[in-house]
Amino acid sequence: MTTIRERSRTRFAVAAPVAFAIVSAWAGDSDSVASFLQHLYAPYTEGAAPNPTGAMAPSIFTPALLALIRKDQRLAQGEAGVLDHDPICGCQDYDALRSLSISVPPHGDDRASGIVSFKNGSQQVTIKFQMIQIGGQWRIDDITEDKTSSLRLFLEKGIADYKKRKP
Protein backbone atom coordinates (compact mmCIF):
# COMPACT_ATOMS: atom_id res chain seq x y z
CA MET A 1 0.00 0.00 0.00
CA THR A 2 1.38 3.37 -0.98
CA THR A 3 0.72 6.60 0.87
CA ILE A 4 -1.04 9.53 -0.77
CA ARG A 5 2.02 11.75 -0.37
CA GLU A 6 4.33 9.23 -2.06
CA ARG A 7 1.97 8.80 -5.00
CA SER A 8 1.37 12.53 -5.25
CA ARG A 9 5.06 13.25 -5.56
CA THR A 10 5.72 10.68 -8.25
CA ARG A 11 2.55 10.90 -10.31
CA PHE A 12 1.31 14.45 -9.85
CA ALA A 13 3.22 15.80 -12.83
CA VAL A 14 1.47 13.33 -15.14
CA ALA A 15 -1.94 12.85 -13.50
CA ALA A 16 -2.77 16.43 -12.48
CA PRO A 17 -2.86 18.02 -15.94
CA VAL A 18 -4.97 15.17 -17.29
CA ALA A 19 -7.36 15.18 -14.34
CA PHE A 20 -7.56 18.99 -14.37
CA ALA A 21 -8.50 19.00 -18.05
CA ILE A 22 -11.08 16.26 -17.57
CA VAL A 23 -12.70 17.89 -14.53
CA SER A 24 -12.72 21.30 -16.21
CA ALA A 25 -14.23 19.95 -19.41
CA TRP A 26 -17.12 18.21 -17.65
CA ALA A 27 -17.70 20.79 -14.92
CA GLY A 28 -19.44 23.27 -17.22
CA ASP A 29 -22.49 21.17 -18.15
CA SER A 30 -25.29 22.03 -15.72
CA ASP A 31 -26.60 18.43 -15.88
CA SER A 32 -23.26 16.81 -15.30
CA VAL A 33 -22.80 16.39 -11.55
CA ALA A 34 -22.46 12.63 -12.02
CA SER A 35 -19.99 13.16 -14.87
CA PHE A 36 -17.99 15.62 -12.76
CA LEU A 37 -17.70 13.04 -9.98
CA GLN A 38 -17.00 10.18 -12.40
CA HIS A 39 -14.10 12.07 -13.94
CA LEU A 40 -12.87 13.26 -10.56
CA TYR A 41 -12.64 9.62 -9.42
CA ALA A 42 -11.21 8.20 -12.66
CA PRO A 43 -7.54 8.55 -11.58
CA TYR A 44 -8.35 6.94 -8.21
CA THR A 45 -9.74 3.84 -9.90
CA GLU A 46 -6.47 3.57 -11.83
CA GLY A 47 -4.38 3.91 -8.66
CA ALA A 48 -2.92 7.23 -9.82
CA ALA A 49 -4.76 9.77 -7.69
CA PRO A 50 -3.66 13.36 -8.07
CA ASN A 51 -3.39 15.70 -5.11
CA PRO A 52 -6.90 17.24 -5.02
CA THR A 53 -5.86 19.88 -2.49
CA GLY A 54 -2.88 20.95 -4.63
CA ALA A 55 -2.77 22.83 -7.92
CA MET A 56 -6.04 21.42 -9.27
CA ALA A 57 -8.04 22.37 -6.15
CA PRO A 58 -9.64 25.51 -7.68
CA SER A 59 -11.29 23.30 -10.33
CA ILE A 60 -12.71 21.02 -7.63
CA PHE A 61 -13.71 23.08 -4.59
CA THR A 62 -15.78 26.24 -4.10
CA PRO A 63 -13.72 29.32 -3.21
CA ALA A 64 -15.07 29.23 0.37
CA LEU A 65 -14.10 25.60 1.01
CA LEU A 66 -10.78 26.06 -0.76
CA ALA A 67 -10.01 29.07 1.46
CA LEU A 68 -10.40 26.85 4.53
CA ILE A 69 -8.20 24.14 3.01
CA ARG A 70 -5.50 26.70 2.16
CA LYS A 71 -5.70 28.29 5.63
CA ASP A 72 -5.23 24.85 7.20
CA GLN A 73 -2.22 24.24 4.93
CA ARG A 74 -0.66 27.61 5.87
CA LEU A 75 -1.15 27.05 9.60
CA ALA A 76 0.35 23.56 9.34
CA GLN A 77 3.57 25.02 7.84
CA GLY A 78 4.40 21.94 5.79
CA GLU A 79 3.27 19.42 8.41
CA ALA A 80 -0.01 17.50 8.43
CA GLY A 81 -2.79 19.92 9.25
CA VAL A 82 -6.33 19.34 10.42
CA LEU A 83 -7.02 17.87 7.00
CA ASP A 84 -4.57 14.99 7.20
CA HIS A 85 -6.16 12.84 4.52
CA ASP A 86 -7.42 13.03 0.97
CA PRO A 87 -11.02 14.28 1.25
CA ILE A 88 -12.03 12.79 -2.11
CA CYS A 89 -11.30 9.19 -1.13
CA GLY A 90 -11.59 9.76 2.63
CA CYS A 91 -8.24 8.07 3.10
CA GLN A 92 -4.55 8.49 3.74
CA ASP A 93 -3.54 5.28 2.02
CA TYR A 94 -5.36 3.55 -0.78
CA ASP A 95 -5.30 0.84 -3.37
CA ALA A 96 -6.92 1.46 -6.74
CA LEU A 97 -10.54 2.09 -5.81
CA ARG A 98 -12.99 -0.55 -7.00
CA SER A 99 -16.75 -0.94 -7.37
CA LEU A 100 -17.29 2.78 -7.91
CA SER A 101 -20.94 3.81 -7.73
CA ILE A 102 -22.21 7.38 -8.17
CA SER A 103 -25.74 8.57 -7.54
CA VAL A 104 -27.10 12.08 -7.91
CA PRO A 105 -30.53 12.76 -6.39
CA PRO A 106 -32.75 15.30 -8.18
CA HIS A 107 -31.48 18.81 -7.59
CA GLY A 108 -32.04 22.49 -8.32
CA ASP A 109 -30.31 24.55 -10.94
CA ASP A 110 -27.26 25.62 -8.93
CA ARG A 111 -27.09 23.16 -6.01
CA ALA A 112 -26.76 19.39 -6.02
CA SER A 113 -25.56 16.48 -3.97
CA GLY A 114 -23.71 13.43 -5.11
CA ILE A 115 -23.12 10.16 -3.31
CA VAL A 116 -20.06 8.13 -4.21
CA SER A 117 -19.48 4.60 -2.91
CA PHE A 118 -16.45 2.43 -3.57
CA LYS A 119 -14.15 -0.19 -2.13
CA ASN A 120 -10.70 0.83 -0.94
CA GLY A 121 -8.97 -2.47 -0.31
CA SER A 122 -11.49 -4.41 1.81
CA GLN A 123 -13.16 -1.28 3.20
CA GLN A 124 -16.49 -0.09 1.79
CA VAL A 125 -16.58 3.74 1.72
CA THR A 126 -19.42 6.16 1.04
CA ILE A 127 -18.83 9.89 0.61
CA LYS A 128 -21.50 12.52 0.10
CA PHE A 129 -20.73 15.74 -1.74
CA GLN A 130 -22.62 19.02 -1.58
CA MET A 131 -22.10 20.77 -4.90
CA ILE A 132 -22.65 24.35 -6.04
CA GLN A 133 -22.57 25.59 -9.58
CA ILE A 134 -20.35 28.65 -9.93
CA GLY A 135 -20.01 30.34 -13.28
CA GLY A 136 -21.56 27.31 -14.98
CA GLN A 137 -19.13 24.87 -13.34
CA TRP A 138 -19.81 22.43 -10.52
CA ARG A 139 -17.62 22.72 -7.42
CA ILE A 140 -17.59 20.76 -4.17
CA ASP A 141 -18.83 22.93 -1.30
CA ASP A 142 -18.82 20.32 1.46
CA ILE A 143 -18.05 16.65 2.00
CA THR A 144 -19.55 14.15 4.44
CA GLU A 145 -17.73 10.91 5.16
CA ASP A 146 -17.28 8.39 7.96
CA LYS A 147 -14.67 10.54 9.71
CA THR A 148 -16.47 13.87 9.41
CA SER A 149 -20.10 14.93 9.08
CA SER A 150 -18.96 18.16 7.39
CA LEU A 151 -15.50 18.88 6.02
CA ARG A 152 -16.26 22.60 6.24
CA LEU A 153 -17.16 22.45 9.96
CA PHE A 154 -14.26 20.08 10.65
CA LEU A 155 -11.80 22.59 9.13
CA GLU A 156 -13.40 25.61 10.83
CA LYS A 157 -13.22 23.92 14.26
CA GLY A 158 -9.68 22.64 13.69
CA ILE A 159 -8.44 26.05 12.57
CA ALA A 160 -10.12 27.75 15.56
CA ASP A 161 -8.58 25.19 17.95
CA TYR A 162 -5.16 25.69 16.36
CA LYS A 163 -5.41 29.46 16.80
CA LYS A 164 -6.29 29.00 20.49
CA ARG A 165 -3.13 26.91 21.02
CA LYS A 166 -0.82 29.33 19.19
CA PRO A 167 -0.11 32.82 20.62
Q: What is the pLDDT of residues 123-134, one digit of tens each?
A: 899 999 999 999
Share of residues in the chain with pLDDT > 90 (%) = 43
How many residues would you count in the chain? 167
pTM: 0.78
- 44-94 pLDDT, tens digit per residue, is 898 876 788 888 899 999 999 999 999 998 888 877 778 888 899 888 877
Average pLDDT over all residues of the chain: 80
Q: Among 3.90.420.10, 3.10.450.50, 3.30.390.30, 1.20.1290.10, what is the CATH number of 2-165? A: 3.10.450.50
Residue 167: its pLDDT value, please? Answer: 59
Can you tell me the distance from the alpha carbon of 138 to that of 30, in angstroms, rounded to the nearest whole number?
8
Amino acid at the residue 164:
K
Residue 80: its pLDDT value, please? Answer: 78
Task: pLDDT band for 106, please (50, 70, 90 cuts).
Answer: confident
Can you tell me the distance from the alpha carbon of 159 to that of 163, in angstroms, rounded to the nearest whole number?
6
The SS3 call for residue 84 is: coil
Domain boundaries, the chain: 2-165
